[in-house]
Amino acid sequence: MSIVVENITKTYGNQKALDGVSFSINSGEIVGFLGPNGAGKSTMMKIITTYINPTDGVVIVNGHQVDTEPLLVKQSVGYLPEHNPLYLDMYVKEYIQFNAAIHKVSKTRIQEVIEQVGLTPEAHKKIGQLSKGYRQRVGIATALLHDPEVLILDEPTTGLDPNQLVEIRDLIKEIGKTKTVLFSTHIMQEVEAVCDRVIIINKGKLIVDKKLNELKNNEQQVLEVEFDLRIEEQLLKTIPHLTKAVNVFDTTWQLTFNTQEDMRSTVFDFAHDNGLKLLQSSQKNQDLESLFRSLTKA
């Protein structure tokens, strides 16, 4: 286990930013940490990286407990904060060298991280001259300097244009091949694009911790089917587990079932038993963005 979060609560004054949150992340996983603004994502990431203490609960990173072994945790973790403060007057290389000195890592490592994050063409520039996408690369390069096992990225793609967004997502995927990555975002699509597991928090509480494919098949199953003849809705209602039937057009129907069992063969049997032919059948998953909205709305 790379990150274990046990029953974490954090209160600011009388406000609970995190309320009994638990999850764990295996080494090598890329996990999306999703939630609307104010959900508690940054707070959790600051606790995992030892920048703030929880009010209650335990976090273990790479076998080290954040409260008793913060230095060992810091050695295992690379962190890109949400509003990563950069010295705009510094040159890229200078800035990375400056951080390398803090971490006491070798000079050759500087060139390695610059190449790893695709900064080489911009490495001679001042940070202030860089686009937001390249500034994020500077932050990610710095987080990677001490070759940590775990990378914590707080909203790494917020504020990027569409091209930069795709580039940074690809970079995260690439880094995820060799490291455990937890990255936060408030965009569900991002999670779909980058990782296979999602943890959703809302108002300080964990509401979902699932593989994406499990989430997609969560409870409801939607099939779009085409028969060879027009039929009455009444007849469709004889299919077990059917909760909704929508006539999309002519002989095509969208059927919703409240079961995880694959209903395609049942629909096939239904067609056969009623003297119909099933011309097409495809699974339509509920789109994840609307699922996320329904899970996190007030």
Contacts with Mg ion, residue ranges (CB under 5 A) = 41-42, 82
Residue 284 C-beta: closest distance to Mg ion, Å: 33
Choose between 10 and 41: whose C-beta lies nearer to Mg ion: 41
Q: Which residue is nearest to Mg ion (CB)?
A: 42
Partners of 16 in beta bridges: 11
Place of tokens 């699509």: 189
**Cα-trace Rg, the chain:** 24
Please state, in angstroms and rounded to a whole number, the distance separating the CA atoms of residues 173 and 183: 11
**Whole-angstrom Cα distance, residue 44 to residue 201?**
10
Q: To the nearest whole angstrom, how small is the minimum distance from the Cβ of residue 139 to Mg ion?
A: 15
Neighbours of 185 (CB within 10 A): 23
Q: Is 104 left (phi over 0), alpha (psi -120 to 50) or beta?
A: left
Closest CB 207 distance from Mg ion, rounded Å: 17
Tell me which residue of 168, 197, 192, 164 sits closest to 180, measured CA to CA.
197
**3-state secondary structure at position 261:** coil
Compute the least distance from the CB of residue 159 to Mg ion, in Å: 13
Least CB distance to ligand ADP at residue 130 (A)? 24
Q: Which does 38 bind (CB under 5 to 8 A by kind): ligand ADP, Mg ion, none?
A: ligand ADP
Q: Between 38 and 128, whose beta carbon lies closer to ligand ADP?
A: 38
**30, 178 in Cβ contact below 8 A?**
no
Nearer to ligand ADP, 151 or 225 (CB): 151
State the residues that interact with ligand ADP by CB under 6 A: 12, 17, 35, 37-43
Judged by beta carbon distances under 5 to 8 A according to partner kind, the member of ligand ADP, Mg ion, none in contact with residue 56 is none
**Nearer to Mg ion (CB atom), residue 42 or residue 221:** 42
